[in-house]
Amino acid sequence: MEIKGVSFSYPDGNSVLKDINLQIKPGEFLVLLGRNASGKSTLTKLLNGLLVPNDGDVLVDGLNTRDQNKLLSVRQRVGLLFSNPDNQLVASIVEEDVAFGPENLGLPSTEIRQRVHAALAAVDMEKHRTDSLQSLSGGQKQRTAIAGVLALRPRYMVLDEPTAMLDPLGRSEVLKTLISINQKEQTAIILVTHFPEEAVLADRVVVMDGGRIAWSGFPQEVLTDPVRLNSFGLEAPEIVLLARELKDRGHNLPPVLEIDSMVKLIQKYRDNLKED
Amino acid sequence: MPIVFSEVGYQYAQGLPWERIALRNINLQVEKNEMLGIIGPTGSGKTTLLQLMNGILTASQGQVLINGANPANMRGTEMTRLRRQVGLVFQSPEDQLFENQVYDDIAFGPRNLGLTGSELDNRVKWAMEMLELDFASLSERKPQSLSGGQKRRVAIAGLLAIDPEYLILDEPGAGLDYEGRLILLSVINKLCRVEGKGIVLVSHRLQDVFGTVDRVVVLVDGKIAMEGSPRDILARGEQLEELGIELPASNQVLQRLTDTMPQVSLGMRGVVEVAGEINRCLRSKL
Ligand SMILES: Nc1ncnc2c1ncn2[C@@H]1O[C@H](COP(=O)(O)OP(=O)(O)OP(=O)(O)O)[C@@H](O)[C@H]1O
Ligand SMILES: Nc1ncnc2c1ncn2[C@@H]1O[C@H](COP(=O)(O)OP(=O)(O)OP(=O)(O)O)[C@@H](O)[C@H]1O
Ligand SMILES: [Mg+2]
Ligand SMILES: [Mg+2]
């Protein structure tokens, strides 16, 4: 997927994206961070041709999103999940909603059934299979919407704050699901989030600010720099903040991003102190 | 006067084959001058509980009393007055934004209260300022065309503009960026501590809840599973995990350290306190 010199303004003249250049490789896991109104959701809508740039081009496997004739192929390749599940859900029963996309692709019914089953299992919603959508809690709706995109098995999955309404366990489950799809199916994942810890396992982190790409790098580099993150209105993961607080108290631990590594580091550090 | 729940139960689709029990045997009291946090896994009944607090839903069993009155018996004008006393921010801001301009959305509540002219204008400006929404560039925008975080701020500003006695907030931080969450938490803190409002905060951002509120209620499967001060609850991390609730990352570190450092105290509120506790143990070479 190639985003080449893309600028975008809404019809009311609000200029939102400015000269965006970005390449997303098949199978890549990319996390998009940025403060409110920095242009993240607008960018996601440009990736599947829902919006078309004013300047520059978006190419999906070589298909230009401006090309009306290619739009259907683009949409098949790029699955987009909006941040509000209510804008996504179309049917009245959970499994019908998840089946809606695959049905539109004209797949055989056994294939549809199998995809729906797998997608619902992936988000732990099998027990709500036959529930009506309006009976679901906020988090349950969000999981259903995610299953709907999973069932499409797109080459690129673009997810706009899919975890915003989930509880912490739900959040880690969804993230695990996305990572396993990414690894097993080589599906590229483009994830927009306000949770910095969701970027820990990404291949690349891209920070947007004022409609531009302000910073891009490996998680280990971006997430361990709380000061620079702050300058873009962002927060570092809690583990990084904990390491910084410990450093301020004279305990200089190497930067890590995961709970496990942090625990082991502290234990080892303590054993060394004891020996001294 | 408080909000009091006595033995409250709630079923959706009561009496129908697809009836679903959302809450059972809830006993709870919320006072003014107090910040109550409610946490719990998805589907545990948090939104249902909040909607019982301002009469959107009425109890299937037991009784809810708000400032001494039962919403189940209220008619039109009384219900309007109740909504003024107990203001709710919905889990999805879209459920709350329906006017054509941001200004009118925030002005909706105070207009119903009879405010007009410069008084109304000032109220809207004040609410927007509290959430750092730029009046000049945003007040005439269509709410539906705002970014997710901007919508959220407008929805919260709409609640502030009513100036209710109780502010009931269902996931108000979802979709807000870091600065937005800091603003929100400082606003509700001020409203409670300075103006004596009652605050009920539901959030999956446990660090925000534990760092802000006076008391935490843990809902699981429609029942109150735990209740206590943030420190009490944090100190019972293993129990929380058994209930399907994940501790904040720094508290997880602390919890895990107890395997090799049993002297670690667990009830630490926020990263700074956790770091302080780890430091204490390292310094004393425990
Ligand atoms: N339909 C629209 N018409 C006009 N302006 C819009 C429209 N949608 C978004 N905008 C504006 O474009 C800017 C970027 O919005 P966008 O939704 O892309 O931000 P975002 O980074 O996703 O923010 P958030 O974190 O709050 O979701 C904002 O100033 C927003 O108000
Ligand atoms: N309108 C409805 N009809 C039938 N059942 C419902 C309805 N709304 C909610 N429920 C069910 O009631 C239970 C409690 O839902 P509620 O929305 O209160 O949960 P919650 O704790 O707010 O969850 P979340 O964290 O996902 O927002 C869930 O099992 C849900 O499926
Ligand atoms: Mg957005
Ligand atoms: Mg809810």
Angle between helices B102-112 and B148-162 (to 10 degrees): 20
Would you say how long chain B is, in residues?
Answer: 286
* Gap from CA of A15 to ligand 1 centroid (Å): 10
Closest residue by Cα to residue B84 from B137, B141, B161, B28: B161
CB contacts under 8 A, A 32-91 vs B, are 34-37, 41, 83-84, 86-87
B23 in Cβ contact with B5 (< 8 Å): no
Q: Using a CB cutoff of 5 Å, list residues around ligand 3, an ion.
A: A 41; B 147-148
Name the percent of chain A lying above pLDDT 70: 100
Rounded CA gap, B258 and B47, in Å? 35
Mutate to test the pocket of ligand 1, among B94, B132, B138, B146 (most ligand atoms within 8 A of CB): B146
What is this structure's pTM?
Answer: 0.93
- What pLDDT shows up at residue A275? 78
Q: How many CB pairs under 8 A join A and B?
A: 147
Rounded CA gap, B268 and B12, in Å? 38
> Of the given ranges (A203-207, B72-76, B123-127), which has the lowest mean pLDDT?
B72-76
Rounded CA gap, B228 and B235, in Å? 10
Strand order, beta sheet including B3-12: B20-30, B3-12, B61-66
- What pLDDT shows up at residue B253? 97
What is the β-pairing status of strands B198-202 and B35-39?
parallel
Closest residue by Cα to residue A160 from A48, A73, A56, A238: A48
- What pLDDT shows up at residue B63? 97
From chain B, the residues in CB contact with A164 under 8 A are 148, 174-175
Q: Is the CB of B51 under 6 A from ligand 2?
A: no
- CB pair distance less than 8 Å for B204 and A269: no
Q: Is the CB of A51 under 6 A from ligand 1?
A: no
- What pLDDT shows up at residue B271? 97
Mean pLDDT confidence for B65-81:
89
Among B171, B177, B246, select the one facing A35 at the smallest CB separation: B177
Tokens of B3: 């909000």
Q: Tally Cβ neighbours within 10 Å of residue B277.
A: 19
DSSP letter string over B228-276?
E-HHHHHHTHHHHHHTT-PPPHHHHHHHHHTTT-TT------SHHHHHH
Chain A residue closest to B93 (CA)? Answer: A84
Q: How confident is the model at residue B120 (pLDDT cuts 50, 70, 90)?
A: very high
DSSP classification of residue A132 = B
Closest-CA residue, ligand 1 atom 25, reads: A36
Mean pLDDT confidence for A75-101:
88
Q: Which atom of ligand 1 is nearest to the CA of A208?
A: 21
Q: Is the CB of B244 under 6 A from ligand 2?
A: no
A255 in Cβ contact with A224 (< 8 Å): yes
Mean pLDDT confidence for B83-101:
89
ipTM: 0.92
A225 in Cβ contact with B168 (< 8 Å): no
What would the pLDDT profile of A27-56 be if each residue is shown by its tens digit? 999 999 999 999 999 999 999 999 999 999
What would the pLDDT profile of B180-197 be if each residue is shown by its tens digit? 999 999 999 999 999 999
Mutate to test the pocket of ligand 1, among A38, A190, A207 (most ligand atoms within 8 A of CB): A38
Q: Is the CB of B149 under 6 A from ligand 1?
A: yes
Is the CB of residue B252 less than 8 Å away from at least one CB of chain A? Answer: yes
- Tokens 């859900």 correspond to A89
- Tokens 């209105």 correspond to A233
B122 in Cβ contact with B110 (< 8 Å): no
What would the pLDDT profile of B13-45 be if each residue is shown by its tens digit? 988 888 899 999 999 999 999 999 999 998 999
Average pLDDT of every residue of chain B? 94
A38 in Cβ contact with A208 (< 8 Å): yes
Rounded CA gap, B119 and B110, in Å? 9
Chain B residue closest to A124 (CA)? Answer: B42
Mean pLDDT confidence for B49-58:
95
What would the pLDDT profile of B121-163 be if each residue is shown by its tens digit? 999 999 999 999 999 999 999 999 999 999 999 999 999 999 9
* Gap from CA of B92 to ligand 3 centroid (Å): 13
Rounded CA gap, B250 and B257, in Å? 11
- CB pair distance less than 8 Å for B204 and A37: no
- Tokens 């041709």 correspond to A49
Burial of A104 by CB count in 10 Å (0-12 exposed, 13-18 middle, 19+ buried)? exposed
pLDDT > 70? residue B247: yes
- What pLDDT shows up at residue A129? 95
pLDDT > 60? residue B286: no
A45 in Cβ contact with A80 (< 8 Å): yes
Q: Which residue has the higher pLDDT, A265 or B76?
A: A265
Q: How confident is the model at residue A143 (pLDDT cuts 50, 70, 90)?
A: confident
- H or E segment to which residue B136 belongs: helix B135-138
- H or E segment to which residue B150 belongs: helix B148-162
CB contacts under 8 A, B 53-92 vs A, are 91-92
Q: Is the CB of B154 under 6 A from ligand 1?
A: no
What would the pLDDT profile of A219-252 be if each residue is shown by its tens digit? 999 999 999 999 999 999 999 999 999 999 999 9
Q: Is the CB of A193 under 6 A from ligand 1?
A: no
pLDDT > 80? residue A86: no
What is the β-pairing status of strands A63-64 and A55-60?
antiparallel
Q: Which atom of ligand 2 is nearest to the CA of B219?
A: 21
Closest-CA residue, ligand 2 atom 2, reads: A135
What would the pLDDT profile of B199-242 be if each residue is shown by its tens digit? 999 999 999 999 999 999 999 999 999 999 999 999 999 999 99
Q: Is the CB of A170 under 6 A from ligand 2?
A: no
Angle at A115 between CA A111 and CA A116, to 5 degrees: 120
> What residues does B28 pair with on adjacent strands?
B5
pLDDT > 70? residue A203: yes
What is the β-pairing status of strands B166-170 and B198-202?
parallel
- Tokens 């996504």 correspond to A88
Task: Report which listed range, A151-155, A163-167, A228-232, is most confident.
Answer: A228-232
Measure in Å the smallest separation between the Cα of B78 and chain A Cα atoms. Answer: 28
What 3-state class would DSSP assign to A183? helix
- Tokens 């709970």 correspond to A259
Rounded CA gap, A24 and A202, in Å? 12
Closest-CA residue, ligand 2 atom 31, reads: A136
Closest residue by Cα to residue A98 from A115, A75, A76: A115
What contacts A45, CB < 8 A, 6 or more positions away?
Answer: A51, A80
- CB pair distance less than 8 Å for A241 and B271: yes
First to last CA, chain B: 49
- H or E segment to which residue A211 belongs: none
Is the CB of residue B285 less than 8 Å away from at least one CB of chain A? Answer: yes
Tokens of B164: 């209710």
Closest residue by Cα to residue A144 from A195, A84, A72: A84
* Gap from CA of A130 to ligand 4 centroid (Å): 20
- What pLDDT shows up at residue A84? 76
Mutate to test the interface with A, among B169, B282, B283 (most CBs of A within 10 A): B282
A59 in Cβ contact with A1 (< 8 Å): yes
Among A37, A165, A267, select the one facing B174 at the smallest CB separation: A165
Q: Tally Cβ neighbours within 10 Å of residue B137.
A: 10
Dihedral angle at the C-alpha atoms of B277, B278, B281, B286, nearest 10 degrees?
140
- What pLDDT shows up at residue A136? 87
Q: Which residue has the higher pLDDT, A181 or B187?
A: B187
